[in-house]
């Protein structure tokens, strides 16, 4: 195995690095762009205990416990997931780590699949952690191993910060053999693990001292390097994938490539700065490195030439350097995008998705709907446009309650609806649900629809606590209706949304009912569980072109011209149809029939 070179995504490379480093325990909650790290560990490296926990806080705690027991441990999550894990993280970083610990944060410049664009280098600094920033798949693997070594050498949890482009792009990675690192077992040390006064006061000084020590050693670690150009008076400082994009410009300029972006090697940079007339920092999102240099008295430039948001590709870097006066003529700006002829494509619910009939029912209800985070967030955009708010995981339940209370106090009460998926409910919706029991008013008309499809569909179908409802091989089978009744809710009912008319009657009835109602929509994810029944077809001689079926927004449905019929009529692509029957049920004239001839 040693020396073999293969193509890997950044995510796969991190999984490989953890395996080679002797990692024993890994935990995560699925979230793009980092979800494939744990999927790769689960699929390729069975020596490692791995799990998708119910949320990022629990995932961090599982990995933290493994580190306490002397094992090398990894927790991975998307950038906003770190917010969920912040409570234990901020105290964990006070302790001196036993087994090496790496927290992988998948940041998303440009928000390709996220609700915001937070820069978690800032969180790393805030939590007093070292932050490493790899530039390609090989570095992603190498930096994972280095992170664990630094964690053990300096006694601190380390953040490996990656970005979405690096997570998903492929590069050549050299494979090495696994180095076994057995866990030494938990060695009780109350001064280190009991983070209550007076133990905590001493820890503040320890955190400061270890970061200062690491800063002094940073240029000797081999992950920060100076690439000397040919006689320029300008030094460019950069890190991560931006470094690779910068290299595409073939500049003959000195570049300081940082692998460790916090703490910075300030003494070394201060010494270098005296050799150059200008220092220009190129980094995506916030001016993190730029600000670190400035607050430490090192004069530099940066965000005045480059965007504060989105990715910095070759064009954007060149344009920024043009503004900075480094170039006089553009070679790429405005040229690389000349052939962008790919038509835009809206994201859609999958064929046979059980969420579609629920949103069709809610759209027809005309009620305000509070949304949440999941694949069903697609109902917030064209053409469905049912969801009126989407903020963060599990927030819908607190928001609908606050909204109901405020509207009542203003004399503007009206029935409100909130939707939340099963994975999101277990992640962070349960606390909001319990809070519903506090000062609940029978006149607060709220209907909660739990979309129980048995999976975390948005990120590729990882399990949830209720996956066992649909897959006997899954070891978690939390019955949502039993759970909600045990919490103290009485008005709970389940509906099969593929029985469209019955589901519509039930949801409409609950919306009209005063008080709090909970409707559990119970159909498994069509994509994960590969459900396929005989397909449907349209009889154009019966179809009246009312487009009721088209408005369900199912991908196989479209209007088309039939031979001998002047008017456009609906049609169904049999290759895409999974036979869910919803289109047939909303057809007012029975024009849509199952391939076996049955009319639903």
Interval 506-558: pLDDT, tens? 999 999 999 999 999 999 998 888 777 899 999 999 999 999 999 888 999 99
Our measurement of the distance from residue 136's CA atom to the centroid of its chain's CA atoms, rounded to an integer in Å, reads 20
Q: How many CB atoms lie within 10 A of CB 339?
A: 7
Asked if residues 593 and 569 have their Cβ atoms less than 8 Å apart, the reply is: no
Domain ranges of the chain: 4-217, 225-324, 354-522, 536-594
Quote the DSSP letter at residue 516.
E
Q: What's the CATH code, domain 354-522?
A: 3.40.50.970
Res 599: pLDDT? 46
Token pair 């920060």: residue? 224
Flag whether 375 is marked binding.
no
Q: What is the pLDDT of residue 327?
A: 82
Q: Say what the pLDDT of residue 2 is.
A: 62
- Tell me the pTM: 0.92
Instruction: Please give the full DSSP string across 102-163, using - where no structure is assigned.
Output: EEEEEE-TT-SSSS----HHHHHHHTT-EEE---SHHHHHHHHHHHHHHHHHHTS-EEEEEE
Q: Hey, what CATH topology would domain 225-324 get?
A: Rossmann fold (3.40.50)
- Beta carbons of 346 and 381 less than 8 angstroms apart: yes
546 is in an annotated binding site: yes
Per DSSP, 387 falls in state E
Q: What are the structure tokens assigned to 328, written together?
A: 């006089």
Q: CA-to-CA distance for 478 and 482, rounded, in angstroms?
A: 8
Ligand-binding annotation for 543, yes or no, is: yes
pLDDT at res. 408: 95
Which residues make beta-bridge pairs with 227? 255
Q: With CA atoms as reference, report the closest residue to 457 among 370, 360, 377, 554.
A: 377
CA-to-CA dists, residue 118 to 12, 114, 140, 201, 338, angstroms = 23, 10, 21, 30, 31
User: DSSP character for 301?
Assistant: B
CA distances from 287 to 80, 163, 175, 281 (A): 19, 16, 35, 8
Calpha distance 155→101 (Å, rounded): 9
In CATH, 4-217 is 3.30.590.10:
no
Low-confidence ranges of the chain (pLDDT < 70): 1-2, 333-340, 597-600
Task: Find the helix packing angle between 500-512 and 355-365, rounded to 10°.
Answer: 50
Answer yes or no: is 300 a known binding residue. Answer: no
Q: Could you give the CA distance from residue 262 to residue 99 in angstroms, rounded to a whole number?
A: 21
Whether the link from the prior residue into 565 is cis, omega within 30° of 0, is no
Pair type for strands 260-262 and 130-132 = antiparallel
Distance CA 301, CA 9 (A): 33
Report how far residue 106's alpha carbon sits from residue 255's, in angstroms, rounded to the nearest whole number.
25
Closest listed residue to residue 133, CA positions, set 242, 268, 18, 254: 242
The answer to whether the beta carbons of residues 30 and 160 sit under 8 Å apart is no
CB 519 within 8 A of CB 357: no
Place of tokens 């019966």: 542
DSSP state of 456: B
Which parts of 410-450 fold into alpha helices (H)?
422-424, 430-435
Taking residue 188's Cβ as centre, other Cβ atoms within 10 Å add up to 8
Helices (H), 367-479: 396-409, 422-424, 430-435
Neighbouring C-beta atoms of residue 202, cutoff 10 Å: 11
580 marked as binding residue:
yes
**What phi, psi does 380 have (nearest 5°)?**
-90, -10
Residue 47's nearest CA partner among 83, 82, 84, 20 is: 20
> Are 82 and 105 a contacting pair, CB within 8 Å?
yes
Same fold for the pair 4-217 and 354-522: yes
Q: Give the pLDDT of residue 332.
A: 75
What is the distance between the alpha carbons of residues 64 and 269, in angstroms, rounded to a whole number? 34
**For residue 85, what are the contacts with CB-CB under 8 A and spacing of at least 6?**
56, 57, 59, 60, 75, 77, 103
Contacts of 323 (CB under 8 A, 6+ apart): 305
Region 536-594: CATH code:
3.30.70.20
């Amino acid at each position: 195995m040693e020396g073999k070179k293969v193509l890997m995504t950044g995510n796969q490379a991190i999984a490989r690095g953890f395996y080679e480093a002797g990692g024993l325990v890994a935990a995560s909650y699925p979230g793009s762009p980092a979800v494939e790290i744990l999927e790769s560990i689960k699929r390729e490296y069975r020596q490692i205990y791995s799990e998708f926990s119910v949320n990022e806080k629990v995932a961090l705690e599982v990995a933290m416990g493994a580190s306490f027991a002397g094992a090398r441990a990894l927790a991975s999550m998307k950038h906003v997931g770190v917010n969920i894990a912040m409570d234990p993280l901020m105290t964990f970083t006070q302790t001196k780590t036993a087994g090496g610990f790496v927290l992988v944060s998948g940041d998303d410049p440009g928000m390709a699949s996220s609700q915001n664009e937070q820069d978690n280098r800032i969180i790393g600094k805030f939590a007093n952690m070292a932050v490493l920033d790899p530039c390609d798949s090989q570095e992603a693997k190498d930096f994972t191993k280095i992170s664990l070594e630094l964690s053990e050498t300096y006694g601190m949890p380390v953040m490996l910060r990656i970005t979405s482009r690096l997570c998903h792009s492929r590069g050549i990675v050299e494979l090495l053999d696994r180095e076994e690192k057995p866990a030494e077992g938990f060695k009780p040390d109350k001064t280190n693990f009991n983070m209550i006064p007076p133990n905590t006061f001493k820890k503040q000084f320890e955190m400061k001292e270890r970061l200062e020590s690491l800063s002094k050693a940073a240029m000797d670690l081999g992950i920060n390097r100076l690439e000397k150009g040919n006689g320029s008076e300008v030094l460019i400082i950069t890190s991560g994938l931006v470094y690779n994009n910068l290299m595409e410009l073939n500049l003959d300029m000195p570049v300081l490539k940082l692998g460790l972006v916090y703490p910075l090697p300030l003494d070394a940079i201060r010494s270098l700065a005296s050799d150059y007339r200008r220092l220009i920092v190129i980094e995506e999102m916030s001016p993190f490195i730029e600000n670190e240099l400035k607050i430490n008295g090192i004069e530099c430039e940066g965000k005045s030439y480059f965007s504060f948001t989105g990715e910095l590709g070759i064009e954007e870097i060149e344009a920024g350097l043009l503004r900075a006066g480094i170039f006089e003529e553009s070679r790429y700006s405005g040229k690389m995008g000349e052939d962008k002829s790919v038509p835009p494509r809206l994201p859609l619910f999958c064929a046979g998705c059980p969420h579609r009939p629920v949103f069709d029912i809610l759209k027809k209800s005309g009620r305000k709907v509070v949304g949440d985070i999941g694949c069903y967030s697609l109902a917030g955009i064209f053409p469905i446009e049912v969801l009126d708010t989407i903020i963060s995981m599990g927030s819908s339940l607190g928001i609908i309650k606050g909204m109901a209370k405020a509207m009542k106090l203003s004399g503007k009460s009206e029935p409100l609806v909130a939707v939340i998926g099963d994975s999101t409910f277990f992640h962070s919706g349960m606390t909001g649900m319990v809070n519903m029991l506090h000062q609940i008013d029978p006149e607060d008309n709220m209907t909660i629809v739990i979309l129980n499809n048995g999976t975390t569909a948005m990120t590729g179908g990882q399990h949830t606590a209720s996956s066992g409802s649909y897959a006997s091989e899954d070891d978690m089978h939390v019955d949502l209706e039993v759970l909600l009744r045990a919490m103290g809710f009485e008005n709970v009912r389940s509906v099969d949304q593929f029985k469209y008319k019955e589901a519509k009657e039930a949801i409409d009835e609950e919306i009209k009912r005063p008080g709090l109602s909970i409707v559990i929509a119970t159909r498994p994810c069509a994509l994960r569980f590969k459900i396929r029944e005989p397909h449907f077809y349209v009889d154009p001689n019966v179809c009246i072109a009312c487009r009721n079926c088209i408005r369900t927004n199912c991908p196989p449905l479209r209007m088309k011209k039939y031979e001998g019929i002047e008017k456009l009529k609906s049609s169904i692509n049999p290759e895409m149809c999974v036979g869910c029957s919803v289109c047939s049920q909303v057809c007012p004239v029975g024009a849509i029939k199952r391939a076996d001839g049955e009319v639903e």
